[in-house]
Structure 1
Amino acid sequence: MQGIIVLNPDELGQDPAVGMDVALSLGVGHLEIRTAYGSNALALDDEQLRGVRRLADERVLRVAALASPLWKWCRPEAVPGKVDCFGFPTQVPAEDRERWVDRALAVADILGTDRVRVFSHLSVGEQTETFRDDPLLTYALEAAKRAGVRLLLENEPVCTVAEPAPLLDVLREHTGLALWLDLGNLYEVGYGTAEAVEVLAPYVEYVHVKDYVPCDDGMKQFVAAGAGDVPYADLLPVLHRVRPVLPYALETHVRESPGDALTRGAMFLRGAVPGGLA
């Protein structure tokens, strides 16, 4: 069996049909859904979501994952820094959070996927919340299990769990949770090494692939996968050896010519992952 390439339509804009057609042109059969029609997927109504699903079904495309924003939040009294929130609030009252968990599971059901991304609370100084012992995580894992859904934790630098040691701590404590490994993020926090990937690999069930070149001002210039500084030649073979069949989702963040970046990224992945990707 081969792993698969996944494309997020919103990399091409907010009309999901455009990104889906690019997926078809690249021979990519799986989608990741994050936003559409100017809204986070969790805030779309059921009819809009069924419309996204119809567009995918018409093209014989399968939704591999819901890139939800769960836990990419802090309390209303905390003040987060600059965060890519993709149309979802970063300050969420505790009493609203369970409702958003339930909504994410309902959205996954409509889209026909059994993978839902979660984060680990935004880091906001002294007001930062703890993810591993959050009672909402226990609730979410139990609800996800009943729904036949797997919750996958992304290693996000602006959140509390981004480095290998805390990731392993959470994943060993909550065996129902798996890893949504963003290799670019791992490199950003200083652990873009074969050793780090090898220790995390047994927990990985989904992979984000993006690439960038650091700028002198501390910012990042995103480029097509394989054209930047993330050492994929070192990381991908290690990951494949431990987990030979995985979804690899292209997340370019390239603003100019994103279609070209996705085309180049798909070509790179098919050649860089041992055995190729479907």
Structure 2
Amino acid sequence: MKFKLAAFADEADSSIDGQILAMKENSVSLLEIRGVDGQNIADISKDKANEVRIKLDDAGLGVWSLGSPFGKIDINDDFASHLDKFKHILEIGKILGAKKLRLFSFYGTTEEPQKYFDKVIQNLQAFLNAARGSGIMLCHENEKGIYGDIASRCLEIHKALPELKAIFDPANFIQCGQDTKEAWGLLAPYVEYMHIKDAKADGSVVPAGKGEGNLPYIINHYKGQVLTIEPHLKVFSGFENLESGQKTQMQEYSYPSSRAAFDAAVNALKELI
């Protein structure tokens, strides 16, 4: 397999021990760390981060990226306190050995996007300034309801801030009515890595290759090495806190447990590869 697999293993188990077990049993070596023993990665202490690092090292696993929530606030919310909290997660990332951090481009910006463009860029630049010298690369994920929800606005962001790399999430584009081949054509030069999540035209999340995301085409043209599995096939602990506004629909593909859904997502990607 020419790819290295990473995963949001908090979808398998909320505990770090359960996440490690799920990763090892599925031969996934890298973690995109988001939820840890019931806490968001942005909220854990340095002591907790050291504890997690020891467990991962002992298991022979690594942290690929920090699945942070930064940029998932309204554009008119208090950004100064948000930025202060961001500086804390950079310290957590150093402890965990993370080289990437995913972030977003703010809610409340899609009705009049050009009105908010300058402020979006200003805030994202502040994140970049804070991260400079940390050894952690910032990567913007396309997401429903934020400025960078469709490919053309993602492109505006990356042209304005070439230092900010892209995470390409096919399912999120589908849920915004964005054709993924068109999106890939615009954003491929900026893509640092991918989130493997597929969806049907109605927005319902399905295993990789079962939806309208054109994953075989995109993965074939992807020049990176790491693919992060983000199942979203079953509502898991904390999922209701991850999205604002329109919720992801999960209908056709459901599983008896979060672990079963996680296993199915990993196997679907392996089969697709």
- Please confirm whether the aligned pair reaches a TM-score higher than 0.5, indicating the same fold: yes
Which residue is 2:51 aligned to?
51
Per-residue displacement from partner, 1:75-121 (whole Å, max 9, x unpaired)? 6xx6xxxxxxxxxxxxx523312202211211211111010111001
Distance in 2 (CA, whole Å) between partners of 1:199 and 1:222 is 24
1:265 counterpart = 2:265: yes
Among candidates 110, 113, 116, match of residue 98 of structure 2: 113
Which residue is 1:4 aligned to?
4
Distance in 2 (CA, whole Å) between partners of 1:165 and 1:213 is 21
Q: Where do residues 1-278 of structure 1 align in structure 2 (5 Å cutoff)?
A: 2-74=2-74, 92-123=77-108, 129-130=116-117, 133-213=120-200, 220-238=203-221, 240=222, 243=223, 245-255=224-234, 256=255, 257-273=257-273
* CA-CA distance at 1:168 after TM superposition: 1.1
Distance in 2 (CA, whole Å) between partners of 1:196 and 1:213 is 16
Distance in 1 (CA, whole Å) between partners of 2:117 and 2:171 is 24
Decide whether the 8 Å contact of 1:71 with 1:119 is kept in 2: yes
Q: Secondary structure at the match of 2:158?
A: helix
Question: With structure 2 as the length reference, what TM-score do the two structures score?
Answer: 0.82
Distance in 2 (CA, whole Å) between partners of 1:59 and 1:223 is 30
> CA 1:23–1:111 in 2, change beyond 3 Å: closer, same or farther?
same
**Percent of aligned pairs sharing the same letter:** 25
> CA 1:213–1:199 in 2, change beyond 3 Å: closer, same or farther?
closer
The amino acid that maps onto 1:156 is E
RMSD (Å) for aligned C-alpha atoms? 2.4
The amino acid that maps onto 1:119 is F
Decide whether the 8 Å contact of 2:106 with 2:120 is kept in 1: no
Decide whether the 8 Å contact of 1:236 with 1:272 is kept in 2: no
The farther-off stretch of 166-175 and 182-191 is: 182-191
The amino acid that maps onto 1:142 is N
Which residue is 2:251 aligned to?
none
Decide whether the 8 Å contact of 2:194 with 2:228 is kept in 1: yes
How many equivalent residue pairs? Answer: 250
Decide whether the 8 Å contact of 2:171 with 2:205 is kept in 1: no
Decide whether the 8 Å contact of 1:192 with 1:235 is kept in 2: no
Unaligned runs of 5+ in 2: 235-254
Q: Secondary structure at the match of 1:195?
A: helix
> CA 1:134–1:229 in 2, change beyond 3 Å: closer, same or farther?
closer
Distance in 2 (CA, whole Å) between partners of 1:126 and 1:200 is 22
* CA-CA distance at 1:160 after TM superposition: 1.2
Decide whether the 8 Å contact of 2:12 with 2:261 is kept in 1: no
> CA 1:8–1:73 in 2, change beyond 3 Å: closer, same or farther?
same
The amino acid that maps onto 1:254 is L
